[in-house]
Amino acid sequence: MKLEHFANDIRLTTLEMLKHKTFGHLGGSMSIVETLSVLYGKHMRVDPQNPTDPLRDYFVLSKGHAGPALYATLALKGFFDKSLLKTLNDDNTTLPSNCDMNITKGIDMTTGSLGQGFSAAVGIAKGLQIQNKNNHVYVIVGDGELNEGQCYEAMMFAVKHKLHNLTVFIDDNKLQLDGFRTDISDTADFKQRFNAFGFHTQTINGHDVHAIDSAINEAKNTKGKPTVIILDTIKGKGIKAFENRADNHHMRFSDHDNTILEETIKALKEGQS
Ligand SMILES: Cc1ncc(C[n+]2csc(CCOP(=O)(O)OP(=O)(O)O)c2C)c(N)n1
Ligand SMILES: [Mg+2]
Tens-digit pLDDT profile for residues 150-193? 999 999 999 999 999 999 999 999 999 999 999 998 667 999 99
The amino acid at 143 = D
| pLDDT for 271 | 83
How far is residue 85's CA from residue 96's CA, in Å, rounded to a whole number? 10
User: Quick one: which of 5, 2, 34, 53 has its CA closest to 269?
Assistant: 5
Do residues 235 and 144 make contact, with C-beta atoms less than 8 angstroms apart? no
What span, in angstroms and rounded, lies between the C-alpha atoms of 273 and 262? Answer: 19
Q: What is the pLDDT of residue 267?
A: 97
> What are the helix and strand counts (H, E) for the chain?
10, 7
Let me know: does 84 contact 94? Beta carbons within 8 Å: yes
Residue among 27, 45, 39 nearest 73 (CA):
39
Grouping H, G, I as helix, E, B as strand and the rest as coil, residue 163 is coil
Q: What percent of the chain has pLDDT over 90?
A: 97
Q: Which of 31, 110, 171, 177, when mutated, tests ligand 1's pocket best, judged by the most ligand atoms within 8 Å of its CB?
A: 177
- 217 CA distance to ligand 1 middle (Å): 29
- Phi and psi at residue 255, in whole multiples of 5°? -60, -40
For residues 271 and 142, which has the higher predicted lDDT (pLDDT)? 142
Using one digit for the tens of pLDDT, what is the confidence trace for 193-244? 999 999 999 999 999 999 999 999 999 999 999 999 999 999 999 999 999 9
* Cα separation values, 270 from 74, 158, 241, 267, Å: 22, 43, 19, 5
The pLDDT score that the predictor gives to residue 66 is 98
* Tally of domains within the chain: 1
Question: What's the rounded Cα separation, in Å, for the pair 221 and 167?
Answer: 11
CB 17 within 8 A of CB 76: no
pLDDT surpasses 80 at 67: yes
CATH of residue 35:
3.40.50.970
> Taking all residues of the chain, what is their mean pLDDT, rounded to a whole number?
97
Distance 145 CA to ligand 2 centre (A): 7
Q: Phi-psi bin for 91: left (phi > 0), alpha (psi -120 to 50), beta?
A: beta
Question: What DSSP character marks residue 144?
Answer: T
Instruction: Point out the ligand nearest to the CA of residue 140.
Output: 1
pLDDT digits (tens, 9 = 90+) for 106-161: 999 999 999 999 999 999 999 999 999 999 999 999 999 999 999 999 999 999 99
Report the atom number in ligand 1 closest to the C-alpha of 115. 1
Q: Which amino acid, one-letter code, is at 20?
A: H
Residue 204: strand pairing partners:
231
Compute the distance between CA of residue 139 and CA of residue 147 in angstroms, rounded to an integer: 16
For residue 273, what pLDDT is reported?
66
CA distance 270 to 257: 20
SS3 70: helix
Q: What ligand 1 atom has the least distance to the C-alpha of 177?
A: 11
- Domain span holding position 264: 3-270
What is the reported pLDDT for 144? 96
